[in-house]
Structure 1
Amino acid sequence: MAFFLGIDAGGTKADYALADEQGVIARVRSDSIKRMRVDAQAAAHHLETALKELTAKTGIAMSGIAQTCVGTAGETVPLVTDWLRAEIPARVGGGLLILGDVEIALDAAFRGEPGVLVLAGTGSNVAARTVEGRVITAGGWGPVLADQGSGHRIGLQALRALCLARDEEKTTLLLPAVLEFWQLSSFDELVAHANAIPGPDFSQLTRTVVDCAERGDDVAQAVLVEQGRELAHLACVLMRRMGQAGTFAPRLAFAGSIMEKVARVRAALIARVREEYPETQAMDGVVDPVDGALWRARGAAGIV
């Protein structure tokens, strides 16, 4: 019996799954092992702790792993990949495959086949794989330049919307809700806090925006719908590019906390895509990128 290790190494956390040829045996989570986010000592500690937890749960020694696949952002950055190539083989047996986090998420959704994946959490990105296996992307340029539909953009646009509502003398639940969340006492304090350098984490306002929308606030609802439609635009950009290349396949999958938990964003996204591509098939739920890493690990070992 062969054993496989899949790792989704994100910026704030890392997810690990230990599997055999048929299915997953155990999963654990650690703090980030991404060297662009944490120092070498902390990354090594997080990795070591997670691997020991997997062994404790399963009784399977890491030396018995046949193949590991790691998906990470920054897969072309030597600081990231050199550390992974040094530290994982020092603790885990078998081969090591390092891919981008977008690629393993696509694999989790489509198992190497064509399709479009929308990833939206704190940040966002939209990616597709063509029939030829080429990965193309839209968005993903960070919080200043892109991140449509992300937690960051939802929080920021909600603040802009509540400021406009104030100018228009329009009432919105967002103002008192944000003041309460940030523990501020006035609109002027909110303006100063939002414009501070360094600024606050706007993504933390997402739950507040969703709560206001669920309570019937028109301003909050419009923010969520707008962000869903902005993500849809990126998905349609990739679908057009796939169609022009003769590889169009209207399948849509999702990943990330916004896609999982914020129904208005997801619904607006799907509705907008279907305005242009009515035949689009939208998968239920969200994909788990670590499943794509395991699929790749098995494939690297010759197991389909």
Structure 2
Amino acid sequence: MMLNRRGVLGLAALAATPASAAAMTPVSSQLAPPDPVETIRLWPDAAPGGEAVTVTPRVVERSTDPAFHDRFAQYTTDPILTVLRPERPNGASLLLIPGGGYKWAVVDKEGLDCARVFADAGVTCFVLRYRLPGDGWAAGPDAPLQDAQRALRLVRSRAAASGLDPARVAVLGASAGGHLAGMLTARADAAYAAVDEADAASHRPDLSILLYPVATMADGPVHAGSRRELLGSAPTPEAVDRYSLERLDWTGRPPTFLLHAMDDEAVPVENSLQLLATLRAARVPAEAHLFQEGGHGFGIRLIAGRPAAVWPALVLAWGARHGWITQT
């Protein structure tokens, strides 16, 4: 599917109108869309380093409205990709990494809900359900990164067989998922030993999209909950440096898109501002959009009819400029 400029502007205008907001407001007579049926297990056998893991996986539904789901996955032991294939794929792929403060990973708000919007634009979407650092994995804070690297490699290694372009694989992460997507983007080293031929593919995304990301682990604008779950209650200075996105070496990393609301009280906008300064210093092609209002964790549904609702259109237009999708 080709995205034309009129289509992008139309999506942006529609998102900002009251009519669009009403159309997206859940009512009890509506039903949530069905879940995709295609999933991909990340690891051919057990996930690495699970000898001491004793947790029992669960998925919790928080919504009481049949019009939408609001689920989170906790204690994941068998990470998966949930696949949304568009009717007319344009060759681009998108790995989506939802947030959850590294305590859980949301399923819908920053996962399937966002994926449906990009699938409507022709992008083949893969929503990651990843392991969490506090569940006893041998890799500790690198367990989620192992899953993210493995997921990107699987998407890329299987792209050609599905008629997709292995050189057009982007990642989108939100909140703590934005931190994980940033680690995936910035870290060139492999977080695990290769397990099969898929690991010959690069885990470097071609574009990186970070929504209200948890960027820093340093005191000040840090999201304390994410830092505690990832690094413990008293992380060493070395750990803070290793897991703070703005302190990593971004030289030669792919184009990066940042989006944040300035009234975000959970993950302060300084997370994106500090990271933007690092990207500029490393000469990474970067684009940033700051909205006066929007709060935190808005995804798609929670910001309908408000200015920041244009963010998918902004991402698509930016992606077109970088060759991820075709714009006419």
**TM-score calculated relative to the size of structure 2:** 0.26
* Bigger Rg over Cα: 1
Is the helix fraction higher in 1 or 2? 1
**TM-score calculated relative to the size of structure 1:** 0.28
